[in-house]
Amino acid sequence: MTDQQMAQTGARPMTGYDRRMFALMNRREGAPMYATAARRRLVVGAHIALTAAGIATWLLSAVGDQRWATWTMLGLLLPWCVATGAINASTRGLLELRERALDERQRAERVRVAARARQLMLWLLLAATVAAGFAAHKGWDTEDLLFPALFTVFVVHWLMPLWVAGLAVQDEPADFDEAGE
């Protein structure tokens, strides 16, 4: 979008930060990691597993030896960051870039991803509420589970849009130059 088009639509021009983030999110060096839908599903699944392991490690550190938990968390951090970067790169920064750095298609996709993530969180919260009601009905002591459950739901709520975006992204179209040769 040119500066003149931005002035007509009321859009703010991209800053240096926006341009750097746009360039970073559109780098293709790691593309083989998320080039196909199956690989993207694998990366999202790994990210979910690493997140669950990190949450479990952090919560277990409260009741046990914190040294092992610290080293385990540090060991999980690098692969978690790589998986996060791969998901962000596969979506070309859909959730990380400012709105002014996105085109109309990406803005619409961001709205769809947010709506889908909210819908999934609604069902997850409903399931958690039913489980808590069932546990209370059975007379189980659930007081010790309140903080871990709420913390887990908070983390899932925070990451759900990233996971949905990673699963919803479409394959890149084949390059026309390569198809014609």
- Residue 65 lies inside a defined structural domain of this protein: yes
> Which DSSP category does 171 fall into?
P
The answer to whether residue 178 sits within a structural domain is no
The one-character DSSP state at 1 is -
Q: Kindly state the percentage of the chain with pLDDT values over 90.
A: 41
Does the pLDDT at position 63 exceed 90?
A: no
**pTM greater than 0.85:** no
Question: How many C-beta neighbours within 10 Å does residue 134 have?
Answer: 10
Residue 34 CB neighbour total at 10 angstroms:
26
More confident residue, 3 or 160: 160
> Does residue 142 fall inside a structural domain?
yes
Instruction: Report the number of distinct structural domains present in the chain.
Output: 1
Q: Kindly state whether residue 85 falls inside one of the protein's structural domains.
A: yes
Domain that holds residue 47: 35-169
The per-residue pLDDT for 32 is 80
CA angle 160, 166, 172 (to 5 degrees): 160
Residue 18 falls within a domain, yes or no?
A: no
pLDDT > 70: what percent of the chain?
87
- Assess if residue 156 is contained within a domain: yes
